Amino acid sequence: MSVVLVDAGGTNIGSVRYALQRLGVDAALTADAAQIRQADKVILPGVGAAAPGMARLRELGLVEVIRSLTQPVLGVCLGMQLLCEHSSEGDTACLGVVPAQVRRFEEAPDRCVPHMGWNRLTPVVEHSLLKGLQEGDWAYFVHSYAVPLGAYTLASSDYGDGFSAVIAKDNFHGMQFHPERSASVGAKLLKNFLEL
């Protein structure tokens, strides 16, 4: 099985790659369109802001490449948000493969932004990506923007309001949390993705 990590400049690439190595997969880091198209699985990692993330994909000529993929694709953290239609972060048009609008968390006296740390997951629908996930399992988040709940939501979390923690639309999947930093739960979900 060939797995590629899209080299879109995300700072979590090294830790995602190491998490995959622990599962016995040596993922190639690439911005080569042909290699991405030929891979069995494609992972779009990302840490940072939506506008620079999309600018990097445009510079690399990968926007249409990613949109046209038919194999399983996983966006992680910012990578998940980039799969959506639009982000209010920098008023950014994204890849548009998931019909969702990414919005900033509302700040509150008891709730700072970014949402950072461990939070519980709630499965919303049965999906092979969530195999073995239990209600209340913990995952590690670092983000200021979130995807609202919708028909694409596989699992939710809550930070003042509910938001999408795991999404899917056709062959495109996303995890808002960092599976590579989420201990056994993250490893389980990455393994599930590799088995899709």
Q: Which residues are catalytic?
A: 77, 178, 180
Distances (CA, A) of 131 to 41, 105, 140: 18, 29, 18
Region of 189 (left: φ > 0; alpha: ψ -120 to 50; beta: rest) is alpha
Strand 153-159 and strand 122-123: the pairing is: antiparallel
On whether the CB atoms of residues 7 and 29 are closer than 8 A, the answer is yes
